[in-house]
């Protein structure tokens, strides 16, 4: 597999090598040893989630308070989505930067999202199914939501939409980027770097 840095530090695009024959195809969807070797990030899956979405559904932008924090490995296992990761770590040299990737089931490409980064996607097909490997189990009250259509984020949802996106009531009512910062919901860059370093030391 090929592990590629993106415009957002600590977010990586992972493209597998497909082995195909007349039966179909096979690929390694994820390898934690390869991720650690190529990026320095330690990732052990504690929970796996799936979501199914109709075309035009926008889920995001989501993160988790630090602590506990939550890294994710995201892939599309049915249909396709436009996946977006944004750097919302306060004090980051690339604060506000984002990267977008079309994830398609037939290609197997995935995205690694480190703790402190925000993630979301818009479904490009009906019944698009996204798989999330998560480094920590769900803890009620720790999820961070930021309004995905906030002009301050400037995220490229238009690349995957021809009309208004479908949002959950929770995402539609999420605070703006500025409000999330005022509420103390966003991790700092230094806190995240210290968290990554602790994971490497305690591996």
Q: For 80-127, what is each residue's pLDDT tens digit?
A: 999 999 999 999 999 999 999 999 999 999 999 999 999 999 999 999
Of 73, 132, 189, 196, catalytic: 132
pLDDT digits (tens, 9 = 90+) for 20-56: 999 999 999 999 999 999 999 999 999 999 999 999 9
What's the predicted TM-score (pTM) here? 0.95
pLDDT digits (tens, 9 = 90+) for 6-17: 999 999 999 999
Nearest partner of 30 among 101, 108, 104, 90, judged by Cα: 108
- Can you tell me whether residue 39 is helix, strand or coil? helix
State yes or no: is 62 an active-site residue: yes
Tens digit of each residue's pLDDT (9 = 90 or more) over 182-199: 999 999 999 999 999 999
Look up 27 and say whether it is catalytic: no
**Catalytic entry in 41, 62, 119, 195:** 62
pLDDT score of 104: 97
- What mean pLDDT, rounded, does the chain reach? 96
> Residue 160's pLDDT band (boundaries 50, 70, 90)?
low
Contacts of 171 (CB under 8 A, 6+ apart): 58, 59, 60, 145, 147, 148
Q: Is 14 helix (H, G, I), strand (E, B) or coil?
A: strand
- % of the chain surpassing 70 pLDDT: 99
């Amino acid at each position: 597999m090929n592990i590629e840095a993106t415009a957002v530090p600590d977010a990586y695009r992972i493209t597998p090598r497909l082995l195909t024959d007349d039966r179909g195809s096979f690929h390694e969807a994820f390898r934690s040893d390869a991720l650690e070797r190529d990026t320095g990030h330690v990732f052990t899956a504690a929970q796996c989630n799936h979501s199914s979405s109709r075309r035009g559904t926008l889920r995001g932008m989501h993160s988790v308070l630090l602590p506990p924090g939550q890294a994710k490995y995201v892939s599309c296992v049915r249909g396709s989505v436009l996946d977006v990761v944004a750097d919302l770590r306060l004090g980051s040299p690339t604060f506000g930067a984002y990267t977008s990737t079309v994830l398609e089931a037939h290609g197997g490409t995935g995205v690694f999202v480190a703790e402190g980064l925000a993630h979301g996607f818009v479904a490009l097909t009906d019944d698009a199914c996204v798989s999330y490997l998560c480094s920590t189990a769900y803890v009620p009250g720790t999820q961070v939501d930021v309004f995905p259509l906030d002009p301050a984020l400037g995220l490229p949802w238009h690349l995957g939409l021809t009309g208004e996106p479908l949002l959950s009531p929770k995402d539609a009512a999420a605070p703006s980027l500025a409000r999330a910062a005022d509420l103390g919901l966003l991790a700092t860059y230094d806190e995240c770097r210290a968290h990554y370093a602790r994971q490497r030391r305690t591996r």
